Structure formats: structure tokens, C-alpha cells
Amino acid sequence: MTDWLDRAEVLDALGIRAQTLYAYVSRGLIEARRAPGRRHSQYRATDVATLADRRGRSRASAAIAAGAMAWGEPSVVTAISTVHRGSLIYRGRDAVADHRWLVVRAAALSAVLPADPLLDAVRDCAEAATGARPNIDFALTALVRAAGLPRSAPFTIFLLGRSLGWAAHAMEQSRQGTLIRPRARYEGRRSPADRSGP
């Protein structure tokens, strides 16, 4: 077998288009070089063979995730969120169609936090202007105001959570001795119909 292949040979071997080949080269999956004495590129045959083997495996979700793990791109198992049959599933519930559980939790939280007319006005104005519900930034601001924390506290709380995540990630990489590039693999309930609890 030759060490280098022409573009047509690579496209045929992998069953891909030229754009995909260029993406593989830019990601470092296939090494390219200028063909000696010519104006076109050649591609390392061993890289192409490795990709062909990878693409030839089963395309089932679990097999793709397992294959990605072997390529240094592990899949992070999650039961928090996914998209299933066009529905946004959050913790096993259809986040759009079945939002009652959020209302119950929000009501429980608002029962322990004092009313804040200023935040209520800001929320209502923002919703009227954008049509969007408040996000985590608004929730952190409400928490900080209710608890009487310093104005910088929302940023500090957010950074604390993010820093702990980064530290855990770094420790896991150190233990495994490999760079982790996580992608999620959902393993929670697939739809509201198969709920067995909250």
C-alpha cells in the first residue's frame, strides 16, 4: 500500500465529499501534504484507513459514543436534557408542554423569598419586550437581593460553580492521563409517556 493517496482515492475510500475531507484535514484527523512536483494535495493513507475503519463500525448511538471514547472524545452520560422526537426533554419531562412542575417549584421558592416589586417590574418589562422568560442571571440576582448579598455575588456564585466543574474535569483528566472533550449521551427517560417519577 502506498503511503499517500490522491483526493479522488480518499473520497472513494471514505464515501465522502470534498468538504468533509477538508474538515477532517483541518481537525487533524487526516494529514495532508503538497504532492511532490504537483499543484494538488495528497493524504496520508494510514489516516484514511483509520477513518474508514471508524466509519465502517455500527452507526447505532451507543456504538458512536463508544467509538468516540476511543478517539479521545468521551461521551458524558447525562439524564438532565435531550431532544426526543422534536420535544425538549428536561429531567425526563417535556420542558415545553409540561411546565406545571416548574410552576410548582417556582411557587415553593417564592413562598420563602420576600416579594420584590422592582424585580417583578423588571421581569414583566423584559418578558413584554422580548417574549422570553427570565434566565439564570435573573434568578441569581433575585437570590442575591433577597439574601442581602453584595452586588458582585451573582458573578461569584456562577464562577464558583463553574470553577468546581473545571477542577473536577482537570482531576479526571489527570487520573486518566488523556485530554477529555466531553459530548453528552442522554440516558434519562426518553419522553413524558415513560415517566416513573418526578
pLDDT of 74:
43
Number of Cβ within a 10 Å radius of residue 48: 22
Average pLDDT of the segment spanning 99-107: 62
pLDDT at position 73 over 90: no
pLDDT at 11 over 90: yes
Percentage above 90 pLDDT, the chain: 13
- Cell 421558592, residue located: 109
Q: Helices 45-56 and 7-14 meet at what angle, rounded to 10?
A: 20
pLDDT in tens, 153-178: 888 888 888 888 788 778 877 887 77
The predicted pLDDT at position 72 comes to 47
pLDDT at 65: 59
